[in-house]
Amino acid sequence: MLHEILLSLSGHPSPLLRSCSFETDAITLPERQLLASAAHLSNVHVDLVAHASRLASSHPSAICRAVANAIQSRHLSAFQRKVLDVEESILTLDPELVGAYNIVPLTAVMSDFQQWRRIMEWLLETARFMAAKSNTCQGADLINRLRVDVQSGYRDVAETALSLVAVAETAWLKHVSAWVLYGRLPTLGSADFFVQKSQPPDDDFVCAPQHLPSFVTPATAASMLYIGKSLNRIRAVGDASSSIGGLDHVSSKLQELASLPFPLNSASFSRTIASIRLSLSENTLSKLLPLAKVLEMLQLLRDFLLLGRGEFALALTQEADDKIRNRWRRAGNLSHERDSGLKNLTIKDGEVAAVLNRTWAVLASMQGRHADEDDQLELARDLLRLQLTKSETPPSLSAEQKLVSADVATRLEALPFQNLLFSVPAVLHVELPSPLDMVISPADLQIYSCINSYLLSLRRAHIRLTDLWKMTSLRRHHAAPMGAGEHAVTLRRRWSARSAALRSSWTTASAVIFFLGETEGYLQTEVVAGMWETFSSWLTGHDARQDRRGGGPSGAPAPASVQDGQAHEEQDLFLPDETSDHGRKADAPRNHPTHDPQTLSTAHTLFLGTLARRLLLTQSSFTEPLYALLTHIDYLVLHMRRLHSIFISMDLEADAGVVDAFVDLEQEEEGVLALLHAVEGKARKGIEAVVDTLRALESDPKFLAEWEAEGAMAEDESSGNRRYAPGKIGGIDRLLMKLDFGGWLGSRHDEWYQNG
């Protein structure tokens, strides 16, 4: 009987230990309980052996396989050795188990296995947990479960869980090492790794947070993702065997990872990943992405997409308008100047691209013989594309970008401002060269394009309205020459009638120009320029505000600070400033930054997201009435231009006898004037709606709280460097204060407009 019990505990099921086998009067109740305990432990052992063997050979997760192998090789082997030790003690008549007359008490035998019962039951629960997760490959869930069980309160279970935690986290660290040191995904269990390859057409690496253990913070996960993607990019542009900087660096970083104590501590693991990221920046990325190259691209985005170069917006707007007018003039169709015309225009990709090409030609002609010296203009000509938008899937956002600008990107996608330049959706896009896409993501470029459409639509409306004043014959009557007689009187009466009919139109146009001028000035001068100044100052460590206080031009735009910092020294963006104090000016502080590419990418994403919010692009209550107002402005300009052409035709008919029998000019004039006066009212109400929205936002506590939170400055405690924060730039109250000078635009004075 005793031999049968030991065989059963060894993992060989025994029919003698079935519950029905010892339900006899010959066995006392205490003996039955001891036999039931032995049978239970035997069944647990048998089930655990079966589960562990199956998991070790077929589980898709390498982490689960490693834990199953550890259960087999360590704990089940230790239990088997315990059974053999008990058997050996019995055979050698060990007095601790064998009593008088060689009697072996069953109580003494089972007491030796009492400590194993809880351990074996816990191991079986762990094995069943892995078996239940075999289809979802959640190695991270197993690590999290084991780390919780370390704190179970039972010493034996805690020690067993701690040993399995070390095994599971070691297997996970092997995957991490392959990724952060070589940029390679694991060959076995890749579906269980937190880095996944996205589907075409993106064909990029993305983070799967559900595959991350609990001790990995989102920032650390973003760092690991960035390191591996950088190494992949390095191999793509250079040596296929490239790593973080050579075998010596790989070996030292591998030893650093291997020296981490188990269970892994979140802080120490984050410091190790930060060290690897810094090593990558110092040894490889510093050569791949120098400061000059990054600044050059950011400056291009500032000048052309954020309209830092005003002549570009002016030329692009004029060329786009000329293209539309020429299309309809060649077709002999003027219906586009009526209410339905803006919706019936068809533009092709080639025509849109031709508009941008002519814009470059206009800018080059402005510079004359010095056009070849403008390297930025040549770079913009190579990288910028004006194209019609297609219904494509928007770029996927990284984990860190989702934390900063997911709502921003989602809201900007639905904005209609891209419809205004050609009356069909068209955006200005940048074909970013490699490896700059390591810092500026496709999602960032999408936000740039949306901001550009928004700012360009305001600039376009302003330009088109001011161009109305170039139609001199429509707004001014030239005195007739001496001796003109009755014809001069006729001309004066004709012009007086037209002037009276258009008086309210010119007043409305002036009011809208005032509104656009103040709004655009606030958005460009205070928000865009201010935000760019803080970002470029953080980036280069060169404070443009100090330059202005020291005698620079008041209100100078922030790009000058970037250019000055770039011309002063070719400092590497991703390396600390190791220049000695010898030869440095006594009052020049050593404030050069030590940003690595990921820090810069995160700061740039934060800059863009905050800029979009400061421009009120995420406030649909503001963008919707503003877009409606810009649409009314387009109709106002079109009707006035149409009326101008009608007046010219009427003058030719009355003064020179040029008659068009197919057109009733008087009826055309009456119809266009009616449309013009109707759109005047819509434009005035549009200004009212936008100003009312601004006042509502000024008193919205939720909006103000978000504004204040974005402006808070912070210190990066881990490195001692100041982390980028946008600062308190702009303020709706400042814009409203300027617009209050146009308070006569309110509804209380609508009657004044109607009476002229």
Pick from 225, 654, 213: nearest CA to 401: 225
Structure tokens belonging to residue 155? 């010493």
**Contact indicator for 608, 617 with CB cutoff of 8 Å:** no
Distance from the Cα of residue 348 to its chain's centroid: 31
Contacts of 372-378 with CB under 8 Å at 24 or more apart are 376/296, 376/299, 376/300, 376/303
Query: How would you classify the pairing of strands 722-723 and 714-715?
Result: antiparallel
Lowest mean pLDDT among 39-48, 446-455, 640-649: 39-48
What gap in Å lies between CA 743 and CA 756, rounded to an integer? 17
Amino acid letter, residue 203? D
Lowest mean pLDDT among 57-61, 106-110, 311-315, 575-579: 575-579
Looking at residue 553, its pLDDT comes to: 34
3-state secondary structure of 313: helix
Looking at residue 112, its pLDDT comes to: 67
Predicted confidence (pLDDT) at residue 569 exceeds the cutoff of 60: no
What gap in Å lies between CA 683 and CA 677, rounded to an integer? 10
Pick from 141, 115, 259, 267: nearest CA to 149: 141
Q: What is the helix (H) or strand (E) element at residue 206, kind and residue range? A: strand 205-207
Q: What percent of the chain has pLDDT over 70?
A: 71
- pLDDT classification of 658: cutoffs 50, 70, 90: confident
Predicted confidence (pLDDT) at residue 358 exceeds the cutoff of 80: yes
Looking at residue 14, its pLDDT comes to: 66
Pick from 331, 575, 337, 616: nearest CA to 455: 616
**Contact indicator for 375, 347 with CB cutoff of 8 Å:** no
User: What are phi and psi for residue 72, nearest 5 degrees?
Assistant: -70, -50
What gap in Å lies between CA 398 and CA 221, rounded to an integer? 11
Looking at residue 587, its pLDDT comes to: 41
Rounded to 5°, angle at Cα 396 from 394 and 397: 125
| Concatenated DSSP letters of 474-530 | HH--PPPPTT-THHHHHHHHHHHHHHHHHHHHHHHHHHHHHHHHHHHHIIIIIIIHH
What gap in Å lies between CA 43 and CA 45, rounded to an integer? 5
Q: What percent of the chain has pLDDT over 90?
A: 22
User: What are phi and psi for residue 319, nearest 5 degrees?
Assistant: -65, -40
Instruction: Provide the β-strand partners of residue 426.
Output: 388
**Contact indicator for 65, 51 with CB cutoff of 8 Å:** no
Lowest mean pLDDT among 65-79, 616-630, 718-732: 718-732
Query: How would you classify the pairing of strands 426-430 and 384-388?
Result: antiparallel
Residues in the chain: 756
Residue found under tokens 């656009």: 516
Q: What is the largest CA-CA distance in the chain?
A: 153
- Per-residue pLDDT, averaged over 34-51, amounts to 80
Cβ-Cβ contacts under 8 Å for 134 (sequence gap 6 or more): 55, 58, 59, 60, 61, 64
Mean pLDDT in the chain? Answer: 77
Q: pLDDT tens digits for 729-755?
A: 878 888 888 887 655 454 444 444 444
Residue found under tokens 């760092």: 223
Looking at residue 739, its pLDDT comes to: 85
Q: pLDDT tens digits for 134-154?
A: 677 678 889 999 999 888 878
What gap in Å lies between CA 224 and CA 194, rounded to an integer? 10
Residue found under tokens 């003996």: 31
- Per-residue pLDDT, averaged over 269-294, amounts to 81
The whole-model pTM stands at 0.76
What gap in Å lies between CA 144 and CA 211, rounded to an integer? 11
Number of C-alpha atoms within 13 angstroms, CB side, residue 413? Answer: 13
**Contact indicator for 286, 574 with CB cutoff of 8 Å:** yes
What gap in Å lies between CA 449 and CA 655, rounded to an integer? 50
Query: How would you classify the pairing of strands 205-207 and 195-197?
Result: antiparallel
What gap in Å lies between CA 274 and CA 548, rounded to an integer? 37
3-state secondary structure of 196: strand
Structure tokens belonging to residue 187? 């060959």
More confident residue, 349 or 573: 349
